[in-house]
Structure 1
Amino acid sequence: MRSMNLILSKALIDFFIAFGVVVGGSLLAGIGSVLAFSPPSAMMLDTADRLKIWALVAAVGGTIDPMRVIESHMMHGQLSPVAQQLLFILCAFIGAHAGTELIRLVCRGSG
């Protein structure tokens, strides 16, 4: 049970790290574009799209280690660590995507 709680808490942390990278980076890009006298909405939308993959990388550790874990454990038939890494990557992707969609919603408004 404790192991499952640790896995779920890491997955939740990965979600919010990726979400925060996209939202924070986009908001700061919007502030920068205001200071540079350019349209902030366009800059925020573009930045959110470009940060999405980097948010995923930052959330899962920023290195190739998750891929090594997947490769080494799969070759030995141990699927549990592989499933964990895939869960972490999926949660980070969902967080980055949710951040991108939030920025789209904020920049385009409701109508």
Structure 2
Amino acid sequence: MFSFPNKLLFIFCTALGLILGGSLIGSLSTIITGDEPYSTMRKLAEDIKIWAVVAAIGGSFTPYEAFGSGIFSGDIRSLGKQFFYVVSSLTGAEFGIYLIYTFTGNR
């Protein structure tokens, strides 16, 4: 389906979109209730980081099974791919948090 570099970019953009979309849409409630949306956006971005990482790399047990098989059966190539998928996902989530903090005027 995807080549390795394309999948890395796909995972990065998925994590980035989850952070940006989740925090932006989640902060709409504070606009309705009259609270400050910027602090809510920052808090939501930090709170959903782990969920964005898990969802971006697949959200099921398949990536973790591949990670386990790489360790226990010696498939170093699969283990390396899964490592880079997790790093790509973490990078996308952190970049999303950085953008939220930059746009809201903090950090």
TM tier relative to shorter chain: over 0.9
In the superposition, the TM-score normalised over structure 1's length comes to: 0.89
**Where has structure 1 moved over 6 Å in runs of 4 or more?**
none
* Equivalent of 1:88 in 76, 80, 85: 85
Shift of residue 22, structure 1, vs aligned partner = 0.3
1:108 matched residue in structure 2:
105
Q: Quick one: which amino acid aligns to residue 52 of structure 1?
A: K
Shift of residue 73, structure 1, vs aligned partner = 2.3
Q: Quick one: which amino acid aligns to residue 57 of structure 2?
A: V
Shift of residue 14, structure 1, vs aligned partner = 0.2
- Which has a greater percent of helix? 1
Could you tell me which runs of 5 or more consecutive residues in structure 1 were left unpaired when the two chains were aligned: none
Count, aligned residues:
106
Aligned 8 A contact 1:30 1:40 in 2: yes
Identical positions, percent: 28
CA RMSD of aligned residues (A): 1.5
In the superposition, the TM-score normalised over structure 2's length comes to: 0.92
Could you tell me which runs of 5 or more consecutive residues in structure 2 were left unpaired when the two chains were aligned: none
CA distance in structure 2 between the partners assigned to 1:56 and 1:78 by the alignment:
23
Shift of residue 60, structure 1, vs aligned partner = 0.5
2:27 matched residue in structure 1:
30
